[in-house]
Amino acid sequence: MSETGTVNRAHAARAFLDASGWRGARIAPLAGDASFRRYARVTRPGATAMLMDADPATGEDVRPFLRVTALLRGAGFAAPMILAADEAQGFLLLEDLGDALFAHVLAHDDDPHLEETLYAAAVDVLAALHTGQAPGADARAAAHLPPYDDARLEAEAGLLLDWYMPAATGAAVPAEAAEEWRAVWAELLALVRVGGDVVCLRDYHAENLIWQPERAGLDRVRLIDYQDAVTGPAAYDLVSLVEDARRDLAPGLGDVMIARYLNAAGVADREAFLTSYAVLGAQRNAKIVGIFARLWRRDGKPRYLGLLPRVFGHLAHDLAHPALAPLAHWFARWLPRERWERDVAYLKETAK
């Protein structure tokens, strides 16, 4: 955004706050994320709130956030209250849920049991969301949640070909590799839908969950950054939580959380679910590899390249599942481990 555009946006934000009863409030910007949305904490005597600035000029749209918030709150889940909204200009004033993101809490607390406590609570929220404490089909339709269909899942996985491989190799992906990739995913995506589609929040991980232990039950886990929610396979958000691109879980904790979900959600066909989990893990991690390369090349955010080794590690774990043998063969031929390790080191050095 140009300097003039930034100034105009700041004036518009101030006018929105004035019209919302927050005239004179102090605005303290927060650190940005991978999107074009910006956040600030606004403070007036005796009260705080969060300002979401989602400029439509950058392609942002606050309406999905409003719809999903209504869906979640209507089902009894702990999404923030909407205090004021200007849909046309892309401003929302939200309940301030505090700064206790799971990732921050765990980084600054040496309680050896806390990580399992937080992740267990997050898994319980997912199980509740997927098993009847969420709105039924009519409510989901009213919220206009798009389907996470095979075409979309395949296109997202293809971001690895679209962005990462050209960045790493300096050349277009061979036509044969792209054709084989599409054929493999057409086969694998037939395995992901187990027990019907559910609400998928899509970015369900430690930097989008806020811990409020003074609350009870599911309310302890406060939800944010869910505007991209869809209806899709149940395993997707569990993958997001366990195979986190930004932090490592304690050894063995991921398996414990998967087992907890299977029990809490009453999954009947566990083998089919675990296959779906592995396929969706590979899909999500391939997507993230492509997105992080895009954030560097297109958006000038090279810091995400430092996360690629962890994401590739998750991907390698997913590829070990027997059902993913065709995809493992593709990687062995076109992007073997020794190559991506070399390429990631090269990209990180190039981005300095």
pLDDT confidence of residue 134: 46
Q: To which residue do tokens 């956040």 refer?
A: 39
pLDDT confidence of residue 34: 55
Phi, psi angle pair for 51, to nearest 5° = -100, 120
With b for 16 or more beta-carbon neighbours within 10 A and e for fewer, the 177-212 pattern comes to bbebbeebbeebbebbbbbebbbbbbbbbbbbbbbe
DSSP-derived secondary structure letter, 302: G
pLDDT confidence of residue 135: 45
H-run or E-run covering 339:
helix 337-350
Burial of 332 per CB tally in 10 Å (0-12, 13-18, 19+) = exposed
CB 229 within 8 A of CB 194: no
Question: What is the rounded end-to-end Cα distance, in angstroms, of the chain?
Answer: 23
Mention every residue, 6+ apart, whose C-beta is less than 8 A from residue 351: 296, 302, 305
Gyration radius from the chain CA atoms:
21
Helix (H, G, I), strand (E, B) or coil at 7: helix
Mention every residue, 6+ apart, whose C-beta is less than 8 A from residue 72: 78, 79, 223, 226
CB 62 within 8 A of CB 87: yes
Q: To which residue do tokens 């954030």 refer?
A: 295
DSSP bridge partners of 231: 147, 199
Domains and CATH numbers, the chain: 3-95 (3.30.200.20), 102-350 (3.90.1200.10)
Max Cα–Cα distance, the chain, nearest Å: 63
Q: Show pLDDT as tens, one digit a residue, over the chain (352 residues).
A: 445 556 688 999 999 999 999 999 999 998 766 568 899 999 999 999 999 999 999 899 999 999 999 999 988 899 999 999 999 999 999 999 999 999 999 999 889 899 999 999 999 999 999 987 544 434 444 457 899 999 999 999 999 999 999 998 889 999 999 999 999 999 999 999 998 899 999 999 999 999 999 999 999 999 999 999 999 999 999 999 999 999 999 999 999 999 999 999 999 999 999 999 999 999 999 999 999 999 999 989 899 999 999 999 999 999 999 999 999 999 999 999 999 888 888 777 777 6
CB 153 within 8 A of CB 192: yes
H-run or E-run covering 86:
strand 82-86
Phi, psi angle pair for 53, to nearest 5° = -115, 105
pLDDT confidence of residue 137: 38
Would you say how long the chain is, in residues? 352
Provide the whole-model pTM.
Answer: 0.91
